[in-house]
Amino acid sequence: MTGDPGRRAQGPPAGGADLDEAARRGVALYNAGKFWEAHEALEIVWRRSADPERSLWQGLILAAAAMLHRERGNRHGLEAQGRAAVERLRAGAPPGFPVETARFVQALARCVDEGGAVPRMAFTPAPGQAAPRTDDA
């Protein structure tokens, strides 16, 4: 990825292992402060996800967008995208969702509402479940 906000992801990967890699990559990019690139990588997974995970992936994408707004000094964008992310992530993740959301959403809310630190994402797939559930499953 070039980091160009005008460039869109090239479409979803073919299978579960590729989705797992896109999710891992998205989390790593987010934690490296590459919020636009993280957004793009996580969007690949979101496009192929089924509910209830789909809403969680969208929440993580919104969190990345919120942190990009924060980085650019756009308080309105931070609040709008951040609060939308919190709403999607508050429902909690089902067993096996590969990104920890309970602590993340609390830290995200502090970041948005109180100016707290940028929260870190943790990729934590359940044992025996390497990839997110998709419509193809």
Q: Which tens digits make up the pLDDT trace of 17-27?
A: 788 899 999 99
Q: In 3-state terms, what secondary structure has residue 10?
A: coil
| pLDDT classification of 134: cutoffs 50, 70, 90 | very low
Model confidence, pTM: 0.81
What the chain holds in terms of domains, given with CATH numbers, is 16-114 (1.10.3450.10)
Phi/psi at 38 (5° precision): -65, -45
What's the mean pLDDT in 30-59?
95
Tell me how long the chain is: 137
Q: How confident is the model at residue 51 (pLDDT cuts 50, 70, 90)?
A: confident
pLDDT digits (tens, 9 = 90+) for 89-127: 998 899 889 999 999 999 999 999 999 999 999 998 756
DSSP-derived secondary structure letter, 116: -
